[in-house]
Amino acid sequence: MACAQLQISQIVQAHTILKSVAHKYADKPVLVLGGRNDDVRKVAEGYGFKHAYTTLDVLAWKPEVWPYHDLLPEERATAKPVDFSRTPISAIFVFHDPRNWSLDIQVMVDVIRSRGLIGEPYLDAPADQQPVELVFCNPDLLWKSDFSRSRLGQGAFREAFQAVYQAVVGKTYPHVQYGKPTTETYKFAEKVLREQLEELHGSPAEQMPPVYMVGDNPESDIAGANGAGWPSILVRTGVYDPTQGPPTHTPTHTAENVAEAVRWAIDREVGRKAD
């Protein structure tokens, strides 16, 4: 049976929204976090960031930055040779869940406190200035893996960084948050859907048809869909555990799994048109 071919333009991940801000930093050095080796760099470059660097690049430049991790051969092979004492980092983007929290938090603190030049004296910025922009792409505290209990996600990493930064500096660091359930993320997703509709029909859609959100996390999937005015379907195959009580955000419908959720949404729309 033939399978439908997905196009990159049809896929929206938590970090896809960074395409919309890449032009601001296209020619500026930025630090990108998440994933293995330099996978995140490749994604960032695909979005339009021409000078994307990783914490592994920093460690390859000066191993004493974090002496508790020796680069693996594959990490060293993908690291870029850069002199970070002469490369001012203008922004930090946490694309995906970091693999080495301790290294990444240390480098983030260094970049921010030295105003972008790692190894330079720490300088506290004036209250009305933010010399290095910090952006997180996913606020999920927990996510579901194959393990029997939910795992800590990027939201937990953000909390860990802010706790360390506050302990060191005395205050948290201003940041931009994308990802579900933020309004910006749902607006971006709707923009992508409108573009897909226009591509299919050859003209802009006069009215956006109903968009159903299927998700396993009441705090992100359901909260975001409800806030955007989308029908929401909570599935029992992930973070949500019905034995812990009712969900914190009430879905339009609850289903056992994604297949059941999709069938319910289709039946609902068919029924509406029949009426």
Q: What would the pLDDT profile of 86-113 be if each residue is shown by its tens digit? A: 999 999 999 999 999 999 999 999 999 9
- The pLDDT assigned to 272 comes to 84
The fold of the 9-177 domain, in CATH, is: Rossmann fold (3.40.50)
Residue 142 three-state SS = strand
- Residue 134 is encoded by which pair of tokens? 């910090």
List, for the chain, all residue ranges whose pLDDT scores fall below the cut of 70: 1-3, 125-130, 275
In 80-125, the DSSP E strands lie at 91-94
Length of the chain in terms of residues written: 275
Token pair for residue 45? 């470059």
Sign of the dihedral defined by the CA atoms of residues 88, 94, 99, 100, in that order: positive
pLDDT for res 106: 98
Given this model, what pLDDT does residue 200 score?
Answer: 82
Q: What is the pLDDT of residue 257?
A: 96
Count Cβ neighbours within 10 Å for each residue of 10-19 and write b for 16 or more, e otherwise.
eebebbbbbe
pLDDT at res. 2: 57
- pTM for the full predicted model: 0.91
User: What phi and psi values does residue 125 have, to the nearest 5 degrees?
Assistant: -75, 150
Q: Which residues contact 41 (CB under 8 A, 6 or more apart)?
A: 32, 52, 53, 54, 80
pLDDT for 214 equals 97
* CATH topology match: 9-177 vs 208-274: yes
What local confidence, expressed as pLDDT, does residue 9 receive?
87
Measured from the Cβ of residue 174, the count of other Cβ atoms closer than 10 Å reads 11
Can you give the residue ranges of every domain in the chain?
9-177, 208-274
Cα-Cα end-to-end distance for the chain:
34
Q: Is 42 exposed, middle or buried (0-12, 13-18, 19+ CB in 10 A)?
A: middle
What pLDDT is stored for residue 156 in this prediction?
98
Can you give the pLDDT at residue 204? 76
What is the CATH T-level fold of the domain 208-274, as seen in this structure?
Answer: Rossmann fold (3.40.50)
